A and B are shown apart, each in its own frame.
Chain A
Amino acid sequence: MFALVFGALVILGAIYAQPAAREEIVVVLPSPDGHTGTVIVQRGGERYVLNQPFAASRLTGEQSATAQLSDAEVRQSFGVALEALPVPPTTFLLYFVTGTDELTDESKEELKQILAELKHRPVPDIMVVGHTDTVGELEANDLLSAQRAERMKGFLVEIGIPGRQIQTAGRGEREPLVPTADNIDEPRNRRVEINVR
């Protein structure tokens, strides 16, 4: 009997500990590059423009107000959600020795760093696109660009990324980084793009 009454009190206590009114808050954050964008909050007839770092719009019950938060307050309230944000998608460029699917010495070094970074991404979705310069025939370059992409896929599979998560394509000389006339040996066009999401 006593346990029952005590239990009921605990339940009542739990109910009354909850806020009696709805609370909402929206906070604009500076992005890692320091730039802060804009969020426009429309609430009933009111409109708030938030465009300063940590500017906030708050609702408590029926009461709406703007506020300025600190980094620490945002961490306190949103730390777990922010921690769960995925790594932003990115693109890597690697360059090749002319007419081959061999990376330049510089790009070989860079590949090591890229592979190390990719290990930190859970389930990366990867699109590898190969390109060539304008030296040689169109058809031969289509083939070479596809080979370059496939070779890179091989490296990615080697570090344990499942092949089904990696798509490849060869664009030949059709999409130069630096537009040139035909038959121009342009090192910046002999490349692969590795798009990682």
Chain B
Amino acid sequence: MRWTLLVGLLCFAAGAGAGEVGQIKAAKGAVFLERQGQRLPATVGMPVQESDSLITGADGSAGVTFSDNSLLSVGPGSVLAIERYAFDSTTHSGHFEASLKKGTLAVVSGKMVKHSPDAMRVRTPSAIMGVRGTEFVVKVIEPGS
């Protein structure tokens, strides 16, 4: 009995963790999603999950629409980690943390930032950006990369 409950809870937790948080709407050239150590070729329509990394080759670019209507896109030679994401479509509360390791990123913030201005953070190797309802772009060039 106790085991059934535990297994049930674990399944629920795994289900929630594996949820779709966004969808790839544009993909050109070499584009990959890195998920649990596996590198999957990314195509238009593919779901994006929390903890995925979006990776583009020298000729690649990709755009993602998230469930709170945030839009993110990356240019060539980029590595973008979707570190944390949660959004409640009823209350519009949530959190969004992404990290640009290298390359270029464009961001249009969505509903969760409108609801609470501290909900979204974007990191680079040197900085943390807080977002107050806006469009912005970020570029990171690593030495020798």
Does B82 have its Cβ within 8 Å of any Cβ on chain A? no
> Do B63 and A37 touch across chains, with their CB atoms under 8 A apart?
no
Residues of B within 8 A of A50 (CB): 136
Pick from B5-13, B21-29, B33-41, B90-98 the stretch touching chain A.
B21-29
A9-63 interface (Cβ within 8 A of B)? 15, 18-31, 36-44, 50, 57, 59
**When the two chains form their complex, are residues B136 and A26 in contact, meaning their CB atoms are under 8 A apart?**
yes
Interface string of B96-112 (1 = CB under 8 A from A): 00000000111011000
Tell me if A80 and B127 are in contact (CB < 8 A): no
Asked whether any CB of chain A lies closer than 8 Å to the CB of B140, the reply is yes
Are the C-beta atoms of A19 and B141 separated by less than 8 Å?
Answer: yes
User: Which one, B26, B63, B106, B141, contacts A78 given CB within 8 A?
Assistant: B106
B115 on interface, CB distance cutoff 8 Å: no
A121 → B minimal CB distance (Å): 8
Closest to A38 in B: B132
Q: How many interface residues does chain B have, given as a range?
A: 35 or more
Compute how far the CA of A77 lies from the CA of B106 in the bound complex, rounded to whole angstroms: 11
B71 touches A19 (CB 8 A): no
Q: Are A15 and B144 in contact (CB under 8 A)?
A: yes
- CB nearest to A21 among chain B residues: B143
Chain A stretch 41-93: residues in CB contact (< 8 A) with chain B: 41-44, 50, 57, 59, 74, 77-89
Contact between chains at A84 and B129 (CB < 8 Å) = no
Task: Find the A residue at minimum CB distance from B138.
Answer: A26
Count of A-B contacts judged by CB separation below 8 Å: 154
Q: A122-B26, A122-B45, A197-B65 are in contact. Are A88 and B130 (CB under 8 A)?
A: no
How many residues from A make CB contacts under 8 Å with B? Answer: 46
Contacts A78-B106, A89-B65 given; does A26 touch B131 at CB 8 Å: no
Instruction: Verify B137–A26 contact, CB threshold 8 A.
Output: yes
Check B106 against A82 for contact (C-beta < 8 Å): yes
Cross-chain contact A25 with B139 (CB below 8 angstroms): yes
Query: Could you say which residues of chain A place their CB within 8 Å of the CB of B127?
Result: 24, 26, 41-43, 57, 59
B76 touches A27 (CB 8 A): no
Contact B104–A28 (Cβ < 8 Å): no
Instruction: Answer whether A22 and B141 are a contact pair too, CB < 8 Å, given A80-B61, A85-B63, A85-B73.
Output: yes
List the A side residues contacting B28 at CB < 8 Å.
Answer: 84
Complex CA distance for A122 and B27, rounded to whole angstroms: 11
**Shortest distance between the CB of B7 and any CB in chain A (Å):** 30
Tell whether, in the assembled complex, residue B25 and residue A123 are in contact, meaning their CB atoms are under 8 Å apart. yes
Contact A37 B133 (CB under 8 A): yes
A24 touches B141 (CB 8 A): yes
B residues with CB within 8 A of A: 23, 25-26, 28, 44-45, 61-65, 69, 71, 73-76, 78, 104-106, 108-109, 124-145
Q: A24-B139, A78-B139 are in contact. List 6 more A-B contacts (CB 8 A).
A: A22-B142, A24-B124, A26-B138, A31-B108, A37-B109, A88-B71
21 A-B pairs, CB-CB below 8 angstroms? A15-B144, A23-B140, A26-B124, A36-B134, A37-B109, A37-B136, A38-B132, A39-B129, A39-B131, A39-B132, A40-B129, A43-B127, A59-B126, A78-B106, A80-B61, A81-B75, A81-B137, A84-B62, A85-B108, A86-B73, A89-B69
